[in-house]
Chains A and B, each alone.
Chain A
């Protein structure tokens, strides 16, 4: 029988997720790396038609299961029924998208010179946190810094939301309403539409 509890390199990607948040505290430009967390799952789901990113590589999910599971910082209760409903998951995806495009719009304004760079990180789309210590100069274009602040806001907001639901419910309850997870699942649905309930799983059971 295959060994199923073997550790792989990708089981340590939670370190990358943690490092990302820390580095962005000292230099906001590291926030740009976060677009990997957007493009990799999308590319995998489009090209391969699976959720290998969620299933194997998502460092954020690993971080939640480590803090909530191993360190026990979770009540481990069931998520409320509405939270796993299609309506909420798709609604949150749309809301997240809208906020994302709003962020891109602000970046565009700075690029066009119609707005000044704001050295703040917006938490939960509402609270403006001072973050000027993470911005070190003028070597790069202001819009690039604006995008970094905006992107870090997205990442920090989703981490905070995930931590809250981690404490209240199961450790990885963020996965239930994660916009990337919902989006990649939708892509997989479209990719495999029409295939009659195939029992073939291209993502095998070995971890």
Chain B
């Protein structure tokens, strides 16, 4: 039996342009995003369901929801 590759939607932060304001953290319903050491936001892909709330909120628009294979 071959393993089935599933596609899932996950948020991805462009860390080079993130201003670490934390707006995404406030809107994430699953607590799946955090600001690391005041540098940038990082997504916990295990928890993220790709709802896109963070991407919509991000003032710098540096979060994208992408389809990834898991």
Contact = CB atoms under 8 A, between A and B. Distances in A.
Query: In the complex, which range does the number of interface residues on chain B fall in?
Result: 20 to 34
A188 B59 contact: no
B58 A170 contact: yes
Contact of A55 (B30, B31, B35, B60): B35
B39 to A, nearest CB: 6
Q: Is the interface of A mostly helix, strand, loop or mixed?
A: loop
Given A4-B28, A176-B59, A45 B38 contact: yes
Contacts of A4: 28-31
B21 A205 contact: no
B65 interface: no
Interface stretch (A94-102, A117-125, A196-204): A196-204
Interface stretch (A19-27, A130-138, A147-155, A179-187): A179-187
A137 B39 CA distance: 46
Contact of A171 (B32, B37, B59, B60): B59
Interface string A147-185: 000000000000000000000011111111000011011
B44 A79 contact: no
Contacts of A59: none
Contacts of B34: 201, 203-205
Contact of B38 (A79, A176, A184, A195): A184
A191 B38 CA distance: 10
Nearest to A65: B23
Interface of A: 2, 4-5, 45, 49-52, 54-56, 61, 65, 76, 78-79, 84, 89, 169-176, 181-182, 184-185, 187-189, 191-192, 195, 198-207
